[in-house]
Structure 1
Amino acid sequence: MKASSKKYTLNFKVPSGTSRGVMTQKETWYIILKDANAFGIGECGILRGLSVDDLPDYEQQLAWACNNIHLGKDELLHHLRAYPSIQFGLEQALLSLQSKDPFELFPSDFTKKGSPIPINGLIWMGDEAYMLKQLEQKLKDGFGCIKMKIGAIDFEKEVSILKSIRKNFTPEEIELRVDANGAFSPEEAMEKLEKLSEFKIHSIEQPIKAGQWEEMAKLCKKTPLPIALDEELIGVFDVTQKEKLLQTIQPQYIILKPSLVGGIKGSQEWIDLAEKQSIGWWITSALESNIGLNAIAQYTYSLDTTMPQGLGTGSLFTNNIASPLEVAEGKLFYSRTNGWDMDLIQEICT
């Protein structure tokens, strides 16, 4: 078996804003495995500025993984525990190589019968007019769950957007989630949570910056709306430390981005620990191309969850790899009528 890697730069259709800045491009890496009669592909979806493995030796570690593919999955994953996106890329590539269909990693009704996964519609940060325009389109597209990124414009303007949604749609009609990406200070967070709770919001992701366990624990204990940890999970590799984090903070939810928390193995560890403590969870993509999104979606479906997931990012790029993944009526489908762009994949693999 031979292994190689290839860099690919994804271009956003529209600059996409978060509290960490505006993105126009997103680099990603593919691991390609070739055997006598088969090939496998997986995506290492590093997210610059957020991934714990955004390190100077990233390409060196990726090359090491390819040069030592003979060591086997367990040893490779152990060596790369500080590089979760490479771990996930390897997991995908090995599953892909072993599958009859290199793009069907978890055979299920999702891939075989068109059973969908409910997802949230994502509204990116921007000025008020831009956010309202996105909202209008998501509602037209049939989304019943809307996730709005907040923390970039004036808080009162963001509140006015939420207020206008609730004037027209009940919580039963539209589920609202907000993502602060750590934008609030601990001193102001509770006051803002109180204000947001007026709009019957499902949950808020990461209200304050990660790493403030005691402050986050206080918020989770007294919060008027459920809190979901996101960035808080990044960089926590040890199972004992994961358990300690959940026991200390006691959040209402955790959000898992496989590319940022160690792929399938890392995500499953978090899920098992969360369920022991009656903590809810859902899974979100992290701006991967359709190669990584496909793996995340198939893994998610295998977990048999009915909660809307965060898997609607595949349409953000001008040069994504065409695939069977399709979003319609607020759901993600694996449509057998659409195929993979094998010409582009062939180009990547050579």
Structure 2
Amino acid sequence: MELLLHRFDLRLRHTFTIAHDSRDVQQTLIVELRDGALSGFGEATANPYYGITIDRMITDLGQVRSQIETADWSSAEALWELVHDALKTNPFAQCALDEAAHDLVAKRAGKPLYAHWGLDPTPIPLTNFTIGLDTPAVMLSKMQEMPWPLYKIKLGRGDDDLALLRLLRQHCDTDRGPVRFRVDANCGWTAEQTLAYAPELIELGVEFIEQPLPAGDWVGMARLCAESPLPIIADESCIAEADVARCANYFHGINIKLTKCGGLTPARRMIAEARQRGLSVMVGCMTESSVGISAIAHLLPLLDYVDMDGSLLITNDPATGVTFDYGQVRFADSNGTGAALIN
């Protein structure tokens, strides 16, 4: 077994802006677990908001290299447990390693990962395409550049948000049918604003509101959970496994990010617990390449919603994997996650 680390700068098609960040390049680390002729791949991106750099991930993974390369682990879950104490402060690094382990184990079994898990890949939810914050004209042009049946619109500017959605709604429906919206306020609204906006958001074809309030505003979120006519989905309020139980009393659903929770292994546990607690489940991405996006794809049979457009937002994808047809995810015709680095 050999641990190989590959760092890349992913160039974004457009400047990507949310309420607390704006960037043109996304740094990413791809982990390769090479076992003879087989390689498993996983990925995690740098994230200054969470204090994660590529160098930090490389350093932390280097500290567990000998365990990874010499220990007799037979499952991805066993490897996750083996290194968790060392990587518990760096879930991004653990995520990349865990994805690579799941990919490799499924390839050893000669199956796509979803089949190795015993899942049926039909039917599966459509992925949205994300429109980052910008001027109304630029956001409209991004939509028109990428016709899609389902958009996630980044908001959070307050009083201008409804006017922006009205503009986008006027120009988005196509001959392939009506277009739906999801909105992500990135903690930028108050409870009063959210409740005031919700009736018109329904008229504008919005399916749900993602994290409208700051993560610490539990009083406001309790009010929204009780009063909002639209589902409220947790993002910043649901980072790790322990957050699922608390979110059950404050949200209608959760958005799981593999990099934040530590990979596919804990994500599957979070999904199971969310179902037990009556929560809907979404998995989101962090502008990964086709490596990270392909890992997400194998969770699709377990999900209500998915946001896995990261590879569509970049111009220099270093890998191949799942592809997309107007929101529909197409699995690669190969074992494991289907991801492979481009030589």
Residue in 2 aligned with 1:129?
137
Post-superposition offset of 1:26:
0.9
Residue 76 of structure 1 aligns to a residue whose secondary structure is helix
Superposed, which structure 2 residues align to 1:275-290 within 5 Å?
275-290=275-290
Residue in 1 aligned with 2:259?
259
Post-superposition offset of 1:83:
2.0
Superimposed CA distance per residue, residues 107-150 of structure 1 (whole angstroms, 9 cap, x where no aligned partner) = 48xx9999875221222221111122223344xx3x33222111
Gaps of 5+ in 2: 74-78
Letter in 1 for 2:181: L
Residue in 1 aligned with 2:76?
none
Instruction: Mark the CA change 1:342 to 1:254 in structure 2 (over 3 Å): closer, same or farther.
Output: closer
Letter in 2 for 1:230: D
Residue in 1 aligned with 2:164?
158
Aligned: 1:62 with 2:61: yes
Letter in 2 for 1:283: V
Post-superposition offset of 1:328:
1.4
Residue 307 of structure 2 aligns to a residue whose secondary structure is coil
Residue in 1 aligned with 2:244?
242
Superimposed CA distance per residue, residues 265-303 of structure 1 (whole angstroms, 9 cap, x where no aligned partner) = 2212221222122111122222111111111112324x3
Partners of 1:288 and 1:6 lie apart in 2 by: 13
Quick one: which of 297, 312, 316 aligns to 1:315?
312
Cα RMSD, aligned residues only: 3.4
Residue 272 of structure 2 aligns to a residue whose secondary structure is helix
Superimposed CA distance per residue, residues 290-326 of structure 1 (whole angstroms, 9 cap, x where no aligned partner) = 111111112324x3x4x45212221211211241422
Instruction: Mark the CA change 1:39 to 1:136 in structure 2 (over 3 Å): closer, same or farther.
Output: closer
Instruction: Confirm or deny: 8 A CA contact 1:117 1:333 kept in the other structure.
Output: no
Q: TM-score normalised to the size of structure 1?
A: 0.80
Residue in 1 aligned with 2:88?
81
Superimposed CA distance per residue, residues 19-59 of structure 1 (whole angstroms, 9 cap, x where no aligned partner) = 1232101111122223344332221234331x475698544
Superposed, which structure 2 residues align to 1:108-257 within 5 Å?
118-138=126-146, 141=147, 143-152=148-157, 154-161=160-167, 164=170, 173-186=178-191, 188-234=193-239, 236-238=240-242, 242-243=244-245, 245-249=246-250, 251-257=251-257
Residue in 1 aligned with 2:41?
41
Post-superposition offset of 1:259:
1.6
Partners of 1:52 and 1:22 lie apart in 2 by: 16
Residue 11 of structure 1 aligns to a residue whose secondary structure is strand
Residue in 2 aligned with 1:96?
103
- Work out the percentage of aligned pairs sharing the same amino acid: 22
Partners of 1:44 and 1:152 lie apart in 2 by: 29
Residue 8 of structure 1 aligns to a residue whose secondary structure is strand
Superimposed CA distance per residue, residues 168-194 of structure 1 (whole angstroms, 9 cap, x where no aligned partner) = 68xx93322111111113454433335
Partners of 1:112 and 1:221 lie apart in 2 by: 34
Superimposed CA distance per residue, residues 51-72 of structure 1 (whole angstroms, 9 cap, x where no aligned partner) = 4756985443222132431455
Instruction: Mark the CA change 1:340 to 1:279 in structure 2 (over 3 Å): closer, same or farther.
Output: closer
Partners of 2:271 and 2:339 lie apart in 1 by: 31
Gaps of 5+ in 1: 345-350
Partners of 1:176 and 1:42 lie apart in 2 by: 30
Instruction: Confirm or deny: 8 A CA contact 1:4 1:66 kept in the other structure.
Output: no
Partners of 1:84 and 1:131 lie apart in 2 by: 32
Instruction: Confirm or deny: 8 A CA contact 2:40 2:103 kept in the other structure.
Output: yes
Superposed, which structure 2 residues align to 1:285-304 within 5 Å?
285-301=285-301, 303=302
Instruction: Confirm or deny: 8 A CA contact 1:53 1:84 kept in the other structure.
Output: no
Residue 182 of structure 1 aligns to a residue whose secondary structure is coil
Residue 133 of structure 2 aligns to a residue whose secondary structure is coil
How many residues align structurally? Answer: 328
Post-superposition offset of 1:340:
6.8
Letter in 1 for 2:272: D
Superimposed CA distance per residue, residues 235-255 of structure 1 (whole angstroms, 9 cap, x where no aligned partner) = x343xx531x12431x11211
Instruction: Confirm or deny: 8 A CA contact 1:182 1:206 kept in the other structure.
Output: yes
Superimposed CA distance per residue, residues 61-96 of structure 1 (whole angstroms, 9 cap, x where no aligned partner) = 222132431455122134323322222211122223
Instruction: Confirm or deny: 8 A CA contact 2:41 2:339 kept in the other structure.
Output: no
Instruction: Confirm or deny: 8 A CA contact 1:311 1:332 kept in the other structure.
Output: no
Which segment is superposed worse, 281-290 or 116-125? 116-125
